[in-house]
Amino acid sequence: MGLSHHRSVTFLILIVVAPMFAMCIAHAAVYINDPLLAEQWGWYRIDADRAYESGVSGSGVIVAVLDSGVNSSHPDLSGKIIEGWNYVDNNDDVMDEDGHGTMVAGIIAAMANNSIGIAGVASNVSIMPLKVLSSSGGSWTDLDKAILKAAHSGARIITMSLGGEYSRPSMAIEAAINHAYQDGCLLVAAAGNDNNSEPFYPAACENVIAVAAIDQVSIKAAFSNYGEYIDFCAPGVNILTTSKDGNYVYGSGTSFAAPFVTGVICLMVSQYPQLTNEQVITTLRAEAEDLGEMGWDQYYGWGLVNAYAACSEIPIPEFSGSLPVLLILTLIVVLAGNLALLLKVRINRQGNITMQSLKEVNILNFPISIDLMPDS
């Protein structure tokens, strides 16, 4: 099957927001002066404000954004964009003609406290734009090359708000993902916008963190995919972010939820650079806000990521060995006489720490998806 546009169930809001001063939020106003901050409900929902106030901002971390490119001249992204590559046209021009990649980058890295626009979750990270999408889609081959490029060029996190709904991606993609993960990269992908449980790749791949979307009342977004491959959820409805024309725009979709998780991971590895991938994932799980059924569930995964808790608590050591599926072990330790400590240890249903990848390639929150599947 060749590449095609995929009309998402999600409807996209593309409203340019003129620069204006929004109503300040009292507890954050002292620290952050971005005028549109009060419109960023998702930023507050994951406690990014508290993380910022604690002094953690993602310094020294490189994030590879595999998308439609990035507008490096946007005032809220100025100075953050490092050298990338355009796999669509095979050159170094990574300018974003579509807008999707610029939106993703803004959620992660928009400069905070600069008196303009918005604030990203990790406002001091560097963005490596690897252009694999055009307005008409992309290819698995380009995605494969971009993943390897990111892994070999210093990126610690790879974010992919794209995908395709197929039985499985190419073996080359899976090999590239596994290679990047083993090299120390954490890969994050959007879960897809079809409101179904069919695996969406690369989010459904092993070693990829799959992100579903929630709305303003912490319910699964109507469009968000769900299923056994979901790891976490994040805000994905009416998300204000940077636009390709230098202004700001609202978007809805799992494409916008995934970069919130990416931003939180940036904060964690900036604060604790020694963390292994498994330790990052275990800590994310432990500090996530449980939504839906207790523990993991197919709509919210392990829950809503929390930026402040994830980077302020002592990271959890990784589990080792093969662990049973979806077990809850109760360990009773007798401490001196009649004292007992009850500990509940919840284990991943797959036994050890695994990431899952995005299944469908939906550009940003646009009603465009890219079917990254080679011709058959």
Q: Cβ neighbours of residue 131 under 8 Å, at least 6 residues apart?
A: 67, 68, 69, 84, 85, 86, 87, 88, 89, 94, 96, 101
Q: Residue 175: count other Cβ atoms within 10 Å of its Cβ.
A: 13
Known catalytic residues?
A: 67, 100, 255
Q: Please give the C-alpha separations between residue 80 and each of 61, 106, 146, 207, 243, in angstroms, as whole numbers.
A: 11, 10, 19, 27, 15
Q: Cβ neighbours of residue 52 under 8 Å, at least 6 residues apart?
A: 31, 32, 112, 119, 123
- Of 121, 94, 96, 95, the C-alpha closest to 109 is 121
From the number of C-beta atoms within 10 Å of its C-beta (0-12, 13-18, 19+), residue 220 rates as buried
Q: Residue 207: count other Cβ atoms within 10 Å of its Cβ.
A: 21
Cα–Cα dist 31/309, whole Å: 19
